[in-house]
């Protein structure tokens, strides 16, 4: 929309949890299955990837 993107800060690449929320509110650009360790990119990961590709 014409906004100049100068920096991107990702809070966490992989799933992390807040103490108060326990495992109910995972955060991170990539979901990690606690049983298998499999990693699945979230929509936020794809958005960040596409934005960085487009805007360099």
Tell me the C-alpha distance between 26 and 11, whole Å: 12
What pLDDT, on a 0 to 100 scale, did the predictor assign at position 22? 63
Taking the whole predicted model, whether its pTM rises above 0.85 is answered as: no
pLDDT digits (tens, 9 = 90+) for 1-56: 788 878 777 677 777 666 666 666 677 888 888 899 899 999 988 988 998 898 87
What pLDDT, on a 0 to 100 scale, did the predictor assign at position 40? 93
Nearest to 28 by CA among 40, 46, 38, 16: 16
What pLDDT, on a 0 to 100 scale, did the predictor assign at position 31? 87
What pLDDT, on a 0 to 100 scale, did the predictor assign at position 41? 93
> Which tokens hold the place of 52?
């960085």
């Amino acid at each position: 929309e014409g906004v100049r993107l100068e920096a991107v800060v990702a809070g966490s690449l992989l799933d992390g949890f807040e103490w108060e929320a326990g495992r109910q509110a995972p955060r991170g650009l990539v979901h990690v299955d606690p049983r298998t360790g499999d990693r699945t990119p979230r929509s936020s990961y794809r958005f960040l990837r596409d934005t960085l590709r487009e805007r360099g």
